[in-house]
Amino acid sequence: MKDMTSTRFPIAALRLAGVAIFGCLCCPAILAAKDGPLTLNPRLAEAEQQRIDAIARAVPSTVCVFVPGGGGGGSGVLISPDGFALTNFHVTSPAGSFMRCGLSDGNIYDAVIVGIDPVGDLALIKLLGRDDFPYATMADSRLASAGDWVMVIGNPFLLASNLQPTVTWGILSGVGRYQYPSGTLLEYADCLQTDASVNPGNSGGPIYNAEGELLGIVGRCSFEKRGRVNVGVGYAISINQAKNFIGYLHSGRIVDHATLGATVASDSDGGVRVSNILESSDAYRRGLTYSAEILEVDGRVVHTANELQNVLATLPAGWRVKLVYRNQGETVHTLVRLRSVHRQDELLTKMAGAMPPPPPLKKPPKEEEGGSDEPDGEKKATPRLAPNGDASNPIPPAVASLYEAKRGFANYAFNEIQQERFITRLRKQFPAKEDSDTIAWNIRGKTDDGRDVAISVTTDKLAIVVGDVAVEPKTKADLYDNVDAQNFAGILPALAAWQRMLIDGPKKFGETIYLGTMPLAGERPLRDCMVANDGELEVRFLSHPESELVEAIEVFADRDEDPAELWITRPVDDPNAIPITLDLRYGIESVLRIHVDSWENNGEANNEKESVDE
Q: Secondary structure of 365-385 in the HEC alphabet?
A: HHHHCCCCCCCCCCCCCCCCC
Kind and range of the H or E run holding 56: helix 42-58
Amino acid at 128: L
Burial annotation 116-143 (CB, 10 A radius, 16+ → b, else e): bbbbbbbbbbbbbeeeebbbbebbebee
Q: Give the active site residue among 61, 90, 195, 298.
A: 90
Residue from 197, 203, 238, 543 carrying the catalytic annotation? 203
List own/partner pairs for 353-357 with CB under 8 A and 24 or more apart: 354/90, 354/93, 354/118, 354/182, 354/185, 354/186, 355/93, 355/94, 356/93, 356/94
User: What is the C-alpha separation between 118 and 96, in angstroms, rounded?
Assistant: 14
- Cβ atoms of 522 and 298 closer than 8 Å: yes
- Which of these is catalytic: 110, 117, 121, 282? 121
Which residues are CB-contacts of 473 (< 8 A; sequence separation ≥ 6)? 462, 479, 481, 482, 489, 492
C-alpha 486/C-alpha 491 separation (Å) is 10
- AA identity, residue 585: R
Neighbours of 362 (CB within 10 A): 14
Q: Among 166, 71, 201, 85, which Cα is nearest to 133's?
A: 85
The rounded Cα 578 to chain-centroid distance in angstroms is: 32
Q: Which long-range contacts (CB under 8 A, 24 or more apart) does 398-403 make?
A: 398/110, 398/128, 398/129, 399/97, 399/98, 399/110, 399/111, 399/112, 399/128, 402/112, 402/126, 402/128, 403/97, 403/98, 403/112, 403/113
Contact assessment for residue 611 and residue 576, using Cβ atoms and an 8 Å cutoff: yes
The verdict on whether 250 is a catalytic residue reads no
Cα distance between residue 547 and residue 48, in whole Å: 43
Catalytic, 333? Answer no
| Separation CA 76–CA 294 (nearest Å) | 37
The helix (H) or strand (E) run that includes residue 295 is strand 293-297
Given a contact cutoff of 8 angstroms between Cβ atoms, the answer to whether 587 and 286 are in contact is yes
Taking phi over 0 as left and psi of -120 to 50 as alpha, with beta for the rest, 434 belongs to: beta
Residue 257 a catalytic site member: no
DSSP class of residue 562 equals P
CA 253 – CA 515 distance, rounded (Å) = 8
Positions of E strands within 59-213: 62-66, 73-78, 84-87, 98-102, 108-117, 122-127, 149-154, 166-179, 188-194, 206-209
Integer Cα distance of 537 and 558 in angstroms: 8
Beta bridge partners of 418: none
Task: Give the type of residue at 436.
Answer: S
Please list the active-site residues.
90, 121, 203
